């Protein structure tokens, strides 16, 4: 359950606010309006990590859409075939360097 406290009480009892924030976020009000939320470092880290995952997924989806547009209906080659070709090229370069 979220606890709500006035800014004045939060300032006076900040140590207690910190202890409470380790249990659950504390909403600090000024003039009867919620202004800030005090939360534990663990809760903050979880929010940051979730945001980073969301941003990464969004970027991945954007890149995926861009690749589809650039391909214009063409299909990508099979990844195994690309790896095989790269291995053959590498083997040929190594063989040539030994001559």
Helix (H/G/I), strand (E/B), else coil: 6? strand
48 with 82, same domain? yes
Q: What is the distance between the alpha carbons of residues 88 and 36, in angstroms, rounded to a whole number?
A: 60
End-to-end CA distance of the chain: 75
77 with 32, same domain? no
CATH number at residue 17: 3.40.1620
Reported pTM: 0.54
77 with 56, same domain? yes
62 with 92, same domain? yes
60 with 17, same domain? no
Give the β-pairing of 33-38 and 3-6.
unpaired
Q: Number of structural domains, the chain? A: 2
Which strands make up the sheet holding 26-30, listed edge to edge? 3-6, 26-30, 33-38
The tens place of each residue's pLDDT in the chain, 99 residues long, gives: 789 999 999 999 999 999 999 999 999 999 999 999 999 999 999 998 888 777 788 888 888 888 888 888 888 778 899 999 999 999 999 999 987
Give the β-pairing of 26-30 and 33-38.
antiparallel
């Amino acid at each position: 359950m979220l606890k709500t406290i006035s800014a004045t009480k939060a300032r006076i009892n900040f140590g207690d606010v910190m202890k409470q924030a380790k249990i659950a976020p504390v909403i600090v009000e000024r003039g009867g309006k919620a202004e800030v939320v005090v939360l534990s470092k663990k809760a903050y880290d979880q929010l940051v990590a979730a945001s980073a995952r969301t941003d990464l997924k969004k970027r991945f989806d954007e890149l995926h859409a861009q690749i589809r547009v650039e391909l214009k209906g063409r299909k990508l080659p099979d990844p195994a075939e690309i790896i095989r070709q790269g291995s053959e090229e590498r083997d040929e370069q190594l063989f040539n360097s030994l001559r």
